[in-house]
Structure 1
Amino acid sequence: MNVKAEHRVQNGNGFCPNIVNIKKGFGLIKKKVEVPTQNVPLSLPKTVDSLCPECLSRISATIYEEGGKIWMKKKCEKHGEFKDLIYSNAELYKKIEQWTFEDAPGLNKWIVNNPECNLNCGLCNNHLSVGCQVTIDLTNRCNLNCPICFANANKTGKVFELTKEQIDLTLDNLDKIDPKPGVVMWAGGEPTVHPHFLYACEQAKKKGIGYILVATNGIAIANSLEFAKKAKEAGADCLYLQFDGIGDKYYIGTRGKPLWETKKKAIENCRKSGLKVVLVPTVVKNVNGDQVGPILDFAIKNSDVIVGISYQPVSITGRIKYEERMKMRETISDVCDDIEEYTHGLLKTMRDWYPLAMASPISKLLARLYGHFILRPSCHSNCGLGTYLLIDPEGNPFPVTKFIDFEGFFTELNEYQKKIKTKTKFKALSALKAFQLMKKYYKKEEAPNGMSFLKMLRILDNLIGPSSKAVPYEQREWKMMLIMSMQFQDSYCFNFDRIKRCNIHYSAPDGKLYPFCTYNSGPCYREKVESNFRVPLNEWKKRAAQNAKK
């Protein structure tokens, strides 16, 4: 099947009727098939459950199209009406709803029982997605005082910092849910200022965590190559590097001080120590909205060490008037459109960007082949979009979606994986058939010069891994770079359907795990958790001084 959606209607059961092109041999016929989607309200307008930004009461909201954009409006009986921008590009919004390939089956083991999704998080039996990544805040201390940060001891006047025992506990929390996530991100505050940061990395690896990310401003890494090497030796794999633009003025606006030279030095020390880097720009429209394109340029030029970008349109906290929010509000589609304009159409908004959940058929295939859970992106289509760039040995980028028909391939792969028996004895044959499906949708005439289908398969083998034949990243001639745009919710655009499908969870010292957008917005469990474990800053300084003497 070569799938191209031309028409779509809502039928409310998680399927999307499309007119598709069926590719058989050299012939092409049109046929209506049902492409499975997540079981959420489809088409526009739609009604979802949301929150009042003032009192956080659960209220209904309407998502609708107006002026080529997607908006949310809602009304609280106590606090009146609210309106906010969801997507600046209505056509992209309508496209991405089509490509989520079903909900995940949920957890086999959870922590909290709830009759419905009521934000009594923990995780609960209503949660549909397994954590692709679990975040653990080591501390809320930081060596910066960013105006846009929501997790800083300098602002609260109190310190939240995990002990060694609590580090072990938050890692052990992952055993309370099934399937168990395999990726951990150390965060904060600034995790590298924690006195037991290296211990945390070592313990995560000892407890079976396959990949360790570090969400950092990069100052500690920039200041010491030795520290970067120790972090790598302790088990850290990749920096999730705060990166808001090219030049000091952007850091002064977002972080309160010039940091451009620090960022470059941190990346250089990662290059020397073997750490990989994902750039993480927090995008505020009236502050650094013009840096989306230049950041992409910088990443491509440093693709020997930078493996991805995660653009994060700002999540707006506090009580802010509509007019002020609109000056700040950058949406996922703004990032996509900005990149298309900056690259003069090399990356195209409508052709190249898809929800992260579109890749789930690969995870489902691997799970059937090997008989155990494989990391599966199954977040809501509004949570994040992604695209891949293939970068040749000369540093020239090529969108993979230009020469592989993702829609056709993933639709057919999703149906194919359902036919494979779990833990089949014919793994190699089943995998070969899956690759043959991709060959049907490989457009050789659009591929980069010298990029045969066989060479592309080798690149994908390195990407999907782990494989005994995988080539170390720094030795690969052709690099694959994941470009993402992820928008975390705030109370103005809160959607319960997104919460139930969250793939990024927080593990906390109270023994629970929380979806990202309930930990940092909405009910804001961060504040509730940290209030039970933090101490006044002066008291913490006394304890730290005493510990230093031991």
Structure 2
Amino acid sequence: MPERPYTYYDFTLSLCPHCLRRVEAKIVFEDGGVYMLKRCPSHGRQKVLIATDIEYYKSIRNYVKPSETPRRFNTATHYGCPYDCGLCADHEQHSCLTVIEITDRCNLTCPTCYAESSPLHGRHRTLAEVEAMVDVLVENEGEPDVVQISGGEPTLHPQFWEILDMCKRKPIKHLMVNTNGVRLAKDEAFVARLATYEGAFEVYLQFDSFKKEALESLRGRDLREVRLQALEHLNKYNLSTTLVVTLQKGLNDDEMGQIIDFALQQRCVRGVTFQPTQAAGRLQNFDPATDRLTLTETRQRIIEQSPVFTAEDLLPVPCNPDALVMGYALKLGGEVFPLTRYVQPAELLQSSGNTIVYEHDPRLRQHLLRLFSTANTVDTITPELNQLLCCLPSIQAPNLRYENLFRVIILQFMDAWNFDVRAIKKSCVHIVSKDLKIIPFETMNLLYRDEEKLARLQQLRDIPVL
């Protein structure tokens, strides 16, 4: 009997990337890759590469854990995912990280910008509006894990410090500020004041490339000196910082190892987050057909380029393993020790595991013996260190500090090309909208960000799945 040229593996619902209509999709293995096959009545058949590593793609199912839901849901389930966001009662994951956009304005007009920000776009939210956004999140979460103040460029907001003070009064475990670094580079006093928000506070600094051409393509400006000056100020005050890299194939995906090495040399940097470009918003120099990077391609490039992280260090994150990869290392005594390789998958799936089993590493062992009085002759690391191994930067180890931790994250925000309802239901990075709904990052940028998208969404809601 004749055979199809692929192996059928799974089935899901996706979106047509041209009209955003909800369509059925097969997941198949073909020629060493994982593809999504779908058909739109108006735009025909589509074949989208969603992973380049079949074995890794299959392995992510081993990291699925019971869902952690919010204390309450905000919208009813009526039209079906992704047309009921808010969070609806069908969503499977609470808000691990929530973005609060305090302004639409920005001091750049980046060719790549999911929010389409610019100096003249939109407006600043009032302090009362921002507090209402934070309060709805607190009602959902009790104690939100990570809140990221964003925009636009949040440092432009005329009430920026009042907003930070308000957030610090709320029961937020970890507060971040997402910034392009322009203000931080120009104004050391601004960084010094940021550093007074000590404790669970962090800067999420845009850091895409060391190449002039790549920065001009992504950001419209050569920002190399701006980024280095911002880091000089952040290092001076040892203000915890994550470097965030927007990736595009053939543009800056050859720099991942170089950026990790650079980050490890910075006193203030606690890790690097790599985000393949989501096909949403303003995309002037991006062709989804040729410039897309899958999560597995990104992971493989890190493995090839970094002398620190190997395949056994970069593991799926259980809250949303389709979209998140994370690797941890410890910086001890001037050395870097990859840590995730010593974690068994069963440990990751426990919300409160007791030990981390690891192979014998004499140098790491000696450092830990000095740090932990309870770490004796057994090949385990005490529960104190186990507190480090989480997708959140909450540190409870009494003999280690946050600056001892270094993490690499791959965060893939799905778009209409690789949209998978099964995975989107576990999205844990959310945005509080202007009308106080809590919406997954992916669907916010595709369907809910502005009036034009909402009007299109209303038209889509009553179209049957095909």
Distance in 1, Cα, partners of 2:309 & 2:432: 36
1:504-546: per-residue Cα shift (whole Å, max 9, x none)?
A: 111123121111111112x2x11139999xxxxxxxxxxxxxx
Distance in 1, Cα, partners of 2:75 & 2:314: 35
Pairing partner for 2:195 from 209, 232, 252 = 232
Match of 1:257 in 2: 221
Distance in 2, Cα, partners of 1:230 & 1:531: 39
User: SS at 2:110's partner residue?
Assistant: coil
Task: Say whether 1:504 aligns with 2:442.
Answer: no
Match of 1:335 in 2: 298
Distance in 1, Cα, partners of 2:282 & 2:72: 38
Distance in 2, Cα, partners of 1:290 & 1:58: 35
Q: Offset of 1:325 from its aligned partner?
A: 2.7
Match of 1:68 in 2: 32
User: SS at 1:107's partner residue?
Assistant: coil
Task: Say whether 1:354 aligns with 2:312.
Answer: no
Distance in 1, Cα, partners of 2:108 & 2:365: 46
Distance 1:87 1:118, change over 3 A: closer
Pairing partner for 1:244 from 196, 208, 230 = 208
Pairing partner for 1:443 from 349, 352, 359 = 359
Give, as a single letter, the amino acid of the residue that structure 1 aligns with 2:76.
Answer: N
Match of 1:194 in 2: 157
Q: Offset of 1:280 from its aligned partner?
A: 0.5
Q: Offset of 1:138 from its aligned partner?
A: 1.2
Distance in 1, Cα, partners of 2:235 & 2:248: 29
- How much identity, in percent, do the aligned residues show? 28
User: SS at 2:132's partner residue?
Assistant: helix
Within a 5 Å distance, the mapping from 1:460-539 to structure 2 comes to: 460=386, 465=394, 467=396, 469=398, 471-474=400-403, 479-521=404-446, 523=447, 525-528=448-451
Give, as a single letter, the amino acid of the residue that structure 1 aligns with 2:317.
Answer: L
Distance in 2, Cα, partners of 1:319 & 1:205: 33
Distance in 2, Cα, partners of 1:341 & 1:467: 33
User: SS at 1:352's partner residue?
Assistant: coil
Distance 1:287 1:161, change over 3 A: same
Contact persistence 2:204–2:244 (CA under 8 A): yes
Distance in 2, Cα, partners of 1:194 & 1:53: 34
Distance 1:470 1:212, change over 3 A: farther
Distance in 1, Cα, partners of 2:141 & 2:452: 23
Distance 1:221 1:259, change over 3 A: same
User: SS at 1:159's partner residue?
Assistant: coil
Distance in 2, Cα, partners of 1:244 & 1:188: 18
**How high is the TM-score relative to the length of structure 1?**
0.73
Match of 1:388 in 2: 328
Give, as a single letter, the amino acid of the residue that structure 1 aligns with 2:344.
Answer: F
Task: Say whether 1:398 aligns with 2:359.
Answer: no
Match of 1:314 in 2: 277
Match of 1:280 in 2: 244
Distance 1:492 1:462, change over 3 A: closer
RMSD of aligned residue pairs (Cα, Å): 2.8
Distance 1:46 1:77, change over 3 A: same
User: SS at 1:341's partner residue?
Assistant: helix
Pairing partner for 1:182 from 128, 145, 165 = 145
Distance in 2, Cα, partners of 1:64 & 1:71: 5
Q: Offset of 1:183 from its aligned partner?
A: 1.9
User: SS at 1:120's partner residue?
Assistant: coil
Contact persistence 2:281–2:445 (CA under 8 A): no
Q: Offset of 1:210 from its aligned partner?
A: 2.4
1:414-467: per-residue Cα shift (whole Å, max 9, x none)?
A: 7xx6xxxxxxxxxxxxxxxx53x43xx222247636244646545555677554
Within a 5 Å distance, the mapping from 1:368-379 to structure 2 comes to: 378-379=319-320
Distance 1:462 1:490, change over 3 A: closer
Q: Offset of 1:496 from its aligned partner?
A: 1.3
Contact persistence 1:110–1:178 (CA under 8 A): no
Q: Offset of 1:139 from its aligned partner?
A: 1.2
Contact persistence 2:144–2:171 (CA under 8 A): no
Distance in 1, Cα, partners of 2:315 & 2:397: 30
Distance in 1, Cα, partners of 2:301 & 2:228: 24
1:223-250: per-residue Cα shift (whole Å, max 9, x none)?
A: 1111112223357811111111224333
Distance 1:468 1:68, change over 3 A: closer
Distance in 2, Cα, partners of 1:530 & 1:140: 16
In structure 1, stretches of 5+ residues that fail to align are 1-42, 358-377, 418-433, 533-550
Give, as a single letter, the amino acid of the residue that structure 2 aligns with 1:383.
Answer: A
In structure 2, stretches of 5+ residues that fail to align are 1-6, 376-380, 456-466
Contact persistence 2:8–2:26 (CA under 8 A): no
Q: Offset of 1:318 from its aligned partner?
A: 7.4
Contact persistence 1:244–1:291 (CA under 8 A): no
Moved more, 448-457 or 333-342: 448-457
**How high is the TM-score relative to the length of structure 2?**
0.85
Distance in 2, Cα, partners of 1:480 & 1:305: 11
